[in-house]
Structure 1
Amino acid sequence: MNEFKSKVYQTALSQLKQKEALLSQERKNIIESILEEEKNSAGDKYETSRETITQDLNTIEKQIKQSKMDLDEIYRLQAIKDTPVSVQEGALIKLGADWFLLAISIGQVNVDDTKVFLMSKNSPLGELLIGKKKKEQVNFRGKLMSIEELV
């Protein structure tokens, strides 16, 4: 695997692990709040407060589940060692002056002072790029862009 591509994956994994740790801490805090509410509660105010906290916990649980799925997907794509002949999942693409990793949609990461955008194959640009080869062009939002690199 290309060294730069490897660094992109490592940066994405690090960012996802950090997010998962923050979500786990938030879940712990919410559970502690629930336990504290049970000690200090009485009446309707308690029920309303408890329902709000429970909704927050459910939201965090969904985010943790998504974070675990994102980590699994990055690990799966990172295991692909071959340089693709056309754009596919796991490909690192230089489109014009910008770099994109076709993986999961987590936004931008910075690697060696270079911005890399992680996007899903189901994103509008991802769908345009799938199957394209180096030096081919795509028209995205009225702008014609050429695939400069494919790693």
Structure 2
Amino acid sequence: MTITKKEVYSALHALLQEKQKAIEANIDQLKQSAAEDTKSSAGDKYETGREMVRQEIDKAVMMQQEYQVQMDQLNGIDPEERHEKVRVGSFVVTDRAAMFIAVGFGKIEVNGQVVFVISPQAPLARLMMNKAAGASLTFNGTPQQLVHVS
């Protein structure tokens, strides 16, 4: 693995910021759409449309809050800190995949390499906790060896 924890952290930080900006723009657009909607002679149709827009705004606000929680959790991690054993904020490379234990974000690409960003509460992360490079574990019937922890 030729990428560093700092590179993974920076890439994830940038992706979360992009998602936050996109959600903010979507909320603004939905609010503008709701404000421009004028009542027509088909009153029920208007009310249904407004309700749908309101529900979309509510969903977007919830997503915005979730991204903010993830950003807050990420900001609590020091990408310069070295870890001997797996814990929150560790960059872990096994013989099967690279993972950053931070937030439940999913698969990202960093310098052309796939990294799975997983929550510390994820079953695989829980299995890896407090293990050092060289340790073995079995997840979903598949053995894995920790190659690198930082």
Give the TM-score taking structure 1 as reference length: 0.91
Shift of the alpha carbon at 1:85?
2.2
Q: Within 2, Cα distance between the matches of 1:62 and 1:72?
A: 15
Matches within 5 A, 1:43-62: 43-62=43-62
* Mapping for residues 122-141 of structure 1, pairs under 5 Å: 122-141=121-140
2:17 aligned partner: 17
Q: Distance in 2 between matches of 1:97 and 1:112?
A: 18
Instruction: Quote the offset at 1:132 in angstroms.
Output: 1.2
Q: What is the one-letter code of the residue matched to 2:32?
A: E
Structure with greater proportional helix content: 1
- What's the offset of the Cα at 1:81? 3.6
Secondary structure of the corresponding residue to residue 74 of structure 1: helix
The aligned counterpart of 2:117 is: 118
* Deviating more after overlay: 63-72 vs 104-113: 104-113
Amino acid of the structure 1 residue aligned with 2:139: F
Specify the alignment match of 1:64 in structure 2. 64
Structure 1 CA distance for aligned equivalents of residues 64 and 40 of structure 2 = 29
- RMSD of the TM alignment (CA)? 1.4
Alignment gaps of 5+ in structure 1: none
Moved segments of 4+, more than 3 Å = none
3-state secondary structure, aligned to 1:94: strand
Give the counterpart letter for 2:18 in structure 1: Q
Contact 2:6/2:79 (<8 A) preserved: no
Instruction: For 2:87, give the aligned amino acid.
Output: Q
Instruction: Say if 1:23 and 1:11 are closer, same or farther in 2 by CA, change over 3 A.
Output: same
Deviation at 1:49, TM superposition (A): 1.0
Give 1:93's aligned residue.
92
Deviations for 1:63-118, whole angstroms, at most 9, x for unmatched residues? 001111111111111x2643222110000000114210000111112122211110
CA distance in 1, matches of 2:7, 2:22: 23
Q: Which amino acid aligns with 2:23?
A: L
